[in-house]
Structure formats: C-alpha cells, structure tokens
Amino acid sequence: MSIPIRSLDPAPLTVGETTVAPGSRARTQIDLLELADGTKVRLSVAAINGTRPGPRLYLGAAIHGDEVNGVAILAEALADIDPARLRGSILSVPVQHPLAFHADHRIPLSQFIKSPLDQSPIDAWTCFPGNPAGNLAETVAATLFGLIHQCSCGIDIHTPTRGGRYVPIAILPSMALGAGAEAAAWLAEQFATGYVMKTNTGMYVGNGILCVEATKAGVPAFTCEVGEGGRLERPIIDEGVRCVRNALVGLGMIEGERWLPAVNHVMREFLGIRARRGGLLHTVAELGTEVEPGQVLARIVDIFGDTVEMVTAPAPGIFVRATTLPTVSTGERAATLGLL
Ligand SMILES: [Zn+2]
C-alpha cells in the first residue's frame, strides 16, 4: 500500500527564528507567553531535517502538564535519528504546555486559581486551532497549531491525568472527517499499540481537540494515551519509543523492523463506569483484557472493611483505563471500557 501522507522535498526548515538545513538537527525555542513579572515563556522544539523527500511528522507530548511519560518517549525515540539518512523531517514539541508542565498538573493550576471566571477555556488541548488574541489556553493552541500546520501528519501523546492508567491506545479522529481521518487511521496502524479507538462520539473526537482540528486542516493526526499521569515508568517509555519508531518505519522515514502486537483490538466507544458508593477502590480485572458482561472490574470497600459495591462490566469490552486513585466517592470514575 502506498503511504497516504503528503511527502515534502528537502528544504530548509524554519522554526521561530531558527533555520534548520537539510541533513541537520536543532533544538530551539519560540516565544509563547509573558508572565506578570515580565518572564517570557518559550516553547522548546526539536527539529530534525532529512536529506531526502518524505513526510514531515509532528510529534507532541505534555499538553497536559502531568503527562511526563510522553516527554521521555519523544526524547528517547528521536535520540539517534541521523538527519543525513532521514527521509522527510520531524518537528517535536516534547512539552506542548510549558506552564502546565511547570505546575506538574493537567492545566496550569495557578492561572485557574487566580481567576477562575476569566480562564475559560482552561484546557489548551480543546482549543484548537487556537486564537493568538485569545486567553492563555487559546494562545498556546494557536502557537502549536502554527507548527502543526507546517507538517504532513501528527501524533499527540498523552497519559491520563493523575489517578488513571490507560493501555497504550491510539484514539482516532472521527471517520466522518473522510480521507484525512482514514490517513490518521493508517498512521495509527503503523504506530501499532494493539489498541485502537475508532469512535464518532465523546470528547476525543470533539471540535477543538488537537488531532481533530489538525486532521480537518489537512494534517492527519491521532491521540495516543499510554500509562499513568504524574509518573515516569520505564516499561511505558520503552513501549512508546517502540511505537514512535514503528510510525517512522511505516512512514518510510527510517529503516528498520516494526514491532507488532499479537492482537489489534479495535473499539467503537468509551464507557466510563462510575462508583455509586464511596470507599477504597480495589481494581480486580487486568488492564488491557477483554471482559464479559457482569464480570467484576473493581470492588469498593468502605472504611470499616465491608464491601459496598462490586463494579461490573455492563457490556462486552476491553478494560482500557483503570482508576489508580486509592479512593472513590459517589459519581467518580472507577473504570473505563472500550466497547467492542
Ligand atoms: Zn492528556
């Protein structure tokens, strides 16, 4: 099958005030924001410019500030890419929201605490294509979109926020977007996590989401979720690195073998299952496994030791996201299935 991603001829690559010649790589920063004391917040970008025609791949992580696994994944996946042998080019933004990363929180919490009424929208991930004259989140999105728009495809790496753990999963933009979404699905197949969400409902496919707006703008992209927020884990990083390298090989940008999972689970919808009772949450099912209706996913035990609720699967699916917080209150998410 031919590669359904636009190829660009070798040419100097401009990132902010830095020009990266074919056959070279650079780390640079571009202006993003100014804080109250005049401190400039800049966005760090790694660019690798190849010497032969090929796709220009956008890679981003940590648009939510506690999602650090993706930062390490991008650093390690790109460490030994030789620009002299690379086909195409790579723009990598390991920390897409520096203020949130600084706070080690999903959003730059200080901004929200300072003025909750004025901060909406709070989440840059949902504000694409952004607005350079907008609030903080919209400004961040607009700057990122300026980079994304130069590329021919993209991958946006996340983890759940603190207290959640995902299987490695590629979440596609809605197939209703047509050929661009089909190209994003092809890219996710190259990435090969073994878990793919192909849905047309829920927050991941809503207007304003990074990969959705990128795909609409002609840059096929998908969201990857992997591991757990607020933690840096060797096996998760290794898995992510393998997947990024898989994508580079699939795109024809580097030579090598792709690592493929034994099974590829394709799901149609997320189903979050919420606790009806409060207590300690004991997860029972194994993350990533297929579950039957009625199967126990988790047990909620009150603070005196009595089991007050068995959280069960209402439908057949894959147990894709566990809650790793030790406690739940009524209405909080205890588990998430990917419905088959
Ligand atoms: Zn995220």
Whether residue 51 is predicted with pLDDT greater than 90 in this model: the reply is yes
Q: How close is the Cα of 67 to the center of ligand 1, in Å? A: 7
Q: How close is the Cα of 309 to the center of ligand 1, in Å? A: 29
Q: How close is the Cα of 62 to the center of ligand 1, in Å? A: 7
Q: How close is the Cα of 4 to the center of ligand 1, in Å? A: 27
Q: How close is the Cα of 273 to the center of ligand 1, in Å? A: 19
Strand-pair partners of 333? 274
**Residue 218 structure tokens:** 């002609």
Of 212, 236, 66, 221, nearest in space to 154 by CA: 221
Phi, psi of 191 (to 5 degrees): -60, -40
Q: How close is the Cα of 135 to the center of ligand 1, in Å? A: 19
Cα–Cα distance for residue pair 27/44, rounded to 1 Å = 7
Q: How close is the Cα of 293 to the center of ligand 1, in Å? A: 29
pLDDT bracket for residue 2 (50, 70, 90): confident
- Alpha-carbon separation of residue 2 from 5, 183, 216, 219, 251 (angstroms): 9, 11, 21, 17, 10
Whether residue 119 is predicted with pLDDT greater than 90 in this model: the reply is no
pTM of the complete model beyond 0.95? yes
Cα–Cα distance for residue pair 335/150, rounded to 1 Å = 38
Q: How close is the Cα of 64 to the center of ligand 1, in Å? A: 5
What pLDDT score does 111 carry? 82
Q: How close is the Cα of 61 to the center of ligand 1, in Å? A: 8
- 223-280 pLDDT, tens digit each: 999 999 999 999 999 999 999 999 999 999 999 999 999 999 999 999 999 999 999 9
Amino acid at 286: E
pLDDT bracket for residue 1 (50, 70, 90): low
**Residue 318 structure tokens:** 């894959």
What pLDDT score does 31 carry? 96
Q: How close is the Cα of 192 to the center of ligand 1, in Å? A: 19
Cα dihedral: 74, 80, 83, 84 (round 10): -160
Q: What does the buried/exposed string (b/e) look like for 232-261 if buried means 16 or more CB atoms within 10 Å of the residue's CB? A: ebeebbebbbbbbbbbbbbbbbbeeeeeee
Q: How close is the Cα of 234 to the center of ligand 1, in Å? A: 19
Q: How close is the Cα of 96 to the center of ligand 1, in Å? A: 11
What pLDDT score does 288 carry? 98
